[in-house]
Amino acid sequence: MTDGPYNPLDKFNLGRSVAEALLLRPVAPLSSRAELGGAGVYAIYYTGDFPPYRPVASKNCGDTYDQPIYVGKAVPKGARKGGLGFDASKGNALRDRLRKHANSINDARHIELTDFHFRSLVVEDIWIPLGENMMIEQFQPIWNIVIDGFGNNDPGMRRATQYRSPWDVLHPGRAFAEKLANGGTTPEMITKRLADYFAGRAIPLVRPEELDDGAEE
């Protein structure tokens, strides 16, 4: 069996090219975002000593930064309304998104902003989701696939179906999350889920009350 001809415009290859370009970008402290502009994709890295995250931090020691804890995207302002006229180099979508993340970490317990770094890449808006999806598929970051809720926005007035995300249960402190009800998930349940994941054991499906309901950007 032989492979078919290489298609550089296949969505897998397009996504991989964005991911590879992102991984070539320099790493900077998450606290330093003053000169950051444009829209695109980013990866956040953890190097601290919070015990449940040691398997992640160990891969980022010595300035290696081999394992993101979270991967995300920052789309140009107004892009969700459609259209092809957006210039990804303009605006401050990346800076604003990373600033929100830094604020979340500052508010949270058990983690320190000084232990987080990031790399980012300005990408034309049509390719941003492909790059984000490829990075998540490649690295399986725990804040994307095991502990949901880091990227959530303030949902405003609580609805009956809204509960604190697993991330907010493990890292309480965000003001908007304190207004939400506890859905029964405990920090011990989340750390057990993480331990199972790192050990290669099957992790249980997310319970309905753990799901965010569109609050993530």
Q: For 167-195, write each residue's pLDDT tens digit.
A: 999 999 999 998 888 888 999 999 999 99
Q: For 72-110, what is each residue's pLDDT tens digit?
A: 999 987 555 444 455 566 789 999 999 999 999 999 999
Q: In whole angstroms, give the CA distance from residue 157 to residue 177.
A: 11
- Looking at the fold, whether 151 and 99 belong to one and the same domain comes out as no
* SS3 state of residue 106: helix
pLDDT of residue 206: 53
Q: Of 123, 143, 163, which closes a domain? A: 143
Q: From 88, 114, 143, give the residue that closes a domain.
A: 143
| pLDDT value, residue 1 | 47
Q: Report the pLDDT value the prediction gives residue 81, as an integer from 0 to 100.
A: 47
Mean pLDDT of 45-50: 97
Angle between helices 128-139 and 11-23 (to 10 degrees): 80
Instruction: Residue 188: give the domain boundaries.
Output: 146-217
Q: In sequence order, what are the residues at sequence separation of 6 or more whose Cβ sits closer than 8 angstroms to the Cβ of residue 65?
A: 27, 45, 117, 119
Name the token pair of 50.
């919070």
pLDDT of residue 46: 98
pLDDT score for 157:
61
Count of structural domains within the chain: 2
Q: Are residues 132 and 158 in the same domain?
A: no
pLDDT digits (tens, 9 = 90+) for 115-172: 999 999 999 988 999 999 999 999 999 999 999 999 998 776 655 458 899 999 999 9
- d(Cα 143, Cα 34) in Å, to the nearest integer? 25
Does 198 fall in a domain? yes
The C-alpha atoms of residue 185 and residue 158 are separated, in whole angstroms, by 18
- Comparing 5 with 140, the larger pLDDT belongs to 140
Q: Report yes or no on 3 lying in a domain.
A: no
Q: Among 143, 161, 193, give the residue marking a domain's end.
A: 143
How large is the average pLDDT for residues 26-51? 92
